[in-house]
Amino acid sequence: MLGVLHDDGLRRLGLRNNQLIDTEAREYPDTVKWARELHAIDEPGLDGLVWMSRQFNSGRAFVLFGDRVVQDDLIVSPRFDSVPSASGFGLLELVRAAARAGVTLGLPPRA
Predicted model pTM: 0.67
- 7 or 111, which is more confident: 7
The per-residue pLDDT of the chain, averaged, comes to 86
pLDDT at 22 over 80: yes
pLDDT at 47: 92
pLDDT tens digit sequence for 49-91: 999 988 877 889 999 998 999 888 888 777 666 677 778 888 8
Could you give the CA distance from residue 44 to residue 30 in angstroms, rounded to a whole number? Answer: 25
